[in-house]
Amino acid sequence: MQIRQTLRCKAWLVLIAITLVVAGCSRMNLAYRNLHLLIPWSLNDYLDMNRDQQKAFRGQLREHLSWHCQTQLPSYLDKIAHVQQQVRQGEIDKAALRTHYQYAKQAVQAIALEITPTTTRLLRELDDGQVRQLNAALEDERRKREEKYLKPPLSKQINDRADRMRERVDQWLGSTNAAQRQRILEWADALGPQNRFWLDNRARWQQSLVEALEKRHEPGFEEQISRLLQDRESLWTTEYKTAFARAEQASIDLVADLYDLSDAKQRRHLDNQLEGIRKDLSTLDCLPEPRKP
């Protein structure tokens, strides 16, 4: 039920990550209010923007953050309250989780639609040196991800995957029992070489971006970036579509089973975690005033 976010807000796709942050950060208000301070530093990992580019980026970022907080966060608050009610009433099952998952996908898509014009404009204005710098940084990140997630033997990839999931579940449930840990291990093993499918797909998306940037001053560039941001699945191979659907269902099954295996103490902890997020988000100054009855 958690999509973990570490606030590595990279390049101009940063706003896509905001929905993921909302879903996973227990102190979202602090992160949200300081996002404008964090982003410029992380951008330096990719390229150096000139003064005009920085000014334009910051202005657009403020507008997008305001849009997101005023138009999207109220719905998130309602969704969190709904999940809390289901947790308290013992109504978390595969059907409910599938509904929540589809909502999360729609929330990310709304952000992609919102930021596409800004992203397109900023990418088009890069000079050749900045494009080379961006490509080199993305390629370096790709190699590091392969080193970390693909180079180890498959057995270690599976164990590492299980460890990461246990850490996430521990945050939400307080701790895991033996049955839950065994279920997590079964899930990790069932995904098999999922790392390869995932990284191959990332590389495919990256290559498509590189090719688009080479023709950023030609007609059709906006359509290319729109596809990259809004219709990512159209770039997937048949192999990855199959692997993604399998992993998607496996994760929903896992969460449902972990909930079924949870005790009263763990469910109270989960409820408290959700309540903390809801309270943090509800204090944001940018939220619209509640309507009077």
What's the pLDDT at 7? 28
HEC secondary structure over the chain = CCCCCCCCCCHHHCCHHHHHHHHHCCCHHHHHHCHHHHHHHHHCCCCCCCHHHHHHHHHHHHHHHHHHHHHHHHHHHHHHHHHHHHHHHCCCCHHHHHHHHHHHHHHHHHHHHHHHHHHHHHHHCCCHHHHHHHHHHHHHHHHHHHHHHCCCCHHHHHHHHHHHHHHHHHHHHCCCCHHHHHHHHHHHHHHCCHHHHHHHHHHHHHHHHHHHHHCCCCCCHHHHHHHHHHCHHHHCCHHHHHHHHHHHHHHHHHHHHHHHCCCHHHHHHHHHHHHHHHHHHHCCCCCCCCCCC
Give the span between the Cα atoms of 293 and 290, in whole angstroms. Answer: 9
Amino acid at 212: A
- Which residue, among 7, 4, 27, has the nearest Cα to 15 in the 3D structure? 7
What's the pLDDT at 289? 64
Query: Which tokens is 116 given?
Result: 């596409």
**pTM listed for this prediction:** 0.82
Contact 5, 257 (CB under 8 A): no
Output the CA–CA distances (angstroms, integers) from residue 242 to 22, 107, 204, 246, in the order listed. Answer: 28, 23, 16, 6
Give the span between the Cα atoms of 208 and 125, in whole angstroms. Answer: 18
User: End-to-end distance of the chain based on CA atoms, in angstroms?
Assistant: 33
Give the span between the Cα atoms of 165 and 182, in whole angstroms. Answer: 12
Residue 175 contacts by C-beta under 8 Å, 6 or more apart in sequence? Answer: 266
What's the pLDDT at 45? 59
What's the pLDDT at 31? 45
pLDDT per residue of the chain (293 residues) written in tens, 0 to 9: 333 333 233 332 333 333 333 333 333 444 444 444 444 444 555 677 788 887 887 788 778 778 888 888 888 889 889 989 999 998 888 998 888 888 888 887 888 888 888 888 888 988 999 899 888 888 998 999 999 999 999 999 999 999 999 998 998 999 999 999 999 999 999 999 999 999 999 899 989 999 999 999 999 999 999 999 889 899 999 999 999 999 999 999 999 999 999 999 999 999 998 898 888 878 877 767 654 44
What's the pLDDT at 35? 46
194 half-sphere exposure, CB direction, 13 A CA radius: 22
